Amino acid sequence: MAYKSGFVSIIGRPNVGKSTLLNKILGQKVVITSSKPQTTRRRIKGIYTSDKGQIIFVDTPGVHKPLYKLGEYLLEEARLSIPDSDLVLFMVDGSEKAGRGDKWIIENLLTTDIPVILVLNKVDRVKSMEKREEIVNSYKELLGDRPVPTVKISAKTGRNIDDLLKNIYRKLPKGPAYYPDEEITDQSMKTIVSETIREKVLNNTKEEVPHSIAVMVEYFDESGDITNISATIFVEFESQKGIIIGDKGSMLKKIGTEAREDIEKTVENKVFLDLHVKVKKKWRKNPSTLKQFGYHSE
């Protein structure tokens, strides 16, 4: 059997399960997940290698109408991933019919000749077979005459993931491995740490706070018996700073403890994590601050 390899972009609206799918395929957590929109803010490569070949998945931010400069950057990250792909997974929430957001993606992002697979996630939430067919047909209508294979999965449980991988390999060209077999992501350790901290803020706060935070790792030293890390959580308003610190520092302590436990599994070492909170007003609207925080498309 010929060895195959290629780049596969995962495109879809926020919260359809793109990052959950990638983590499930790779068998470990390389992308943070939460129930909040805009959890994924960068293009992140996840590398899956088997005896059939190597698939370089590109997880992208959820596509939605941008309200700030940050939103424009997120949309651009999704858009830029497509031209370099050998295949696009158009991932949708299979528990509901196609909506305006899906229509916008098809009309604005999937206009190339690059092959597409329609991936319906969360189909296990719909018990009626008739309802499932209606949902599938609503997406097929939007795709028109384009021959698009359809795979129904559950990213959470792993159902039909094997079928999805078979469909992907069918569409990929013959080619060499681009990365060593043991490599599973292109992210630096500092990026993984900052994203882990951000995930814990997302999961412990609500309303506008999760969207208003950015995390920068200021110091990272793994040369000794303990990995020493210092990081700053940036917010837009003083009131948000108070929420993240919490009563007598309780919230910041909770975020720090949860982040440290996850980071220790990643670096396979004891970790000392020093967290600070600072206010950077309207950073989501400021191009130079966005660049400083690493939100700039290459």
How confident is the model over 279-294, as pLDDT tens digits?
999 999 999 999 898 8
Beta bridge partners of 271: 227
Per-residue confidence (pLDDT) for residue 298, from 0 to 100:
63
d(CA 194, CA 263): 10
Q: What is the pTM of this model?
A: 0.87
Fold of 4-171: Rossmann fold (3.40.50)
d(CA 95, CA 120): 8
> Which three-class secondary structure state does DSSP give residue 94?
coil
Per-residue confidence (pLDDT) for residue 14, from 0 to 100:
87
Q: Are 263 and 256 in contact (CB under 8 A)?
A: no
d(CA 214, CA 193): 12
Residue 251 pLDDT greater than 80, yes or no: yes
Question: Looking at this protein, which amino acid is placed at residue 25?
Answer: I
Instruction: State mean pLDDT over 176-191.
Output: 92
Residue 255 pLDDT greater than 90, yes or no: yes
Sign of CA dihedral 83, 84, 85, 91: negative
Q: Where in the chain is the domain with CATH 3.40.50.300?
A: 4-171
Q: Single out the residue of 125, 114, 173, 172 nearest to residue 152, CA to CA.
A: 125
pLDDT tens readout for residues 39-82: 887 788 999 999 999 999 998 888 877 777 888 888 888 888 88
Q: Where in the chain is the domain with CATH 3.30.300.20?
A: 189-292
Per-residue confidence (pLDDT) for residue 58, from 0 to 100:
92
pLDDT tens readout for residues 121-173: 998 899 899 999 999 999 999 998 888 999 999 999 999 999 999 999 999 99
Q: Which pair of structure tokens corresponds to residue 182?
A: 């043991």
Task: Pick 189-292's CATH classification: 3.30.300.20, 3.40.50.300, 3.30.1600.10, 3.40.50.2300.
Answer: 3.30.300.20
Per-residue confidence (pLDDT) for residue 71, from 0 to 100:
82
Q: Biggest alpha carbon distance in the chain? A: 62
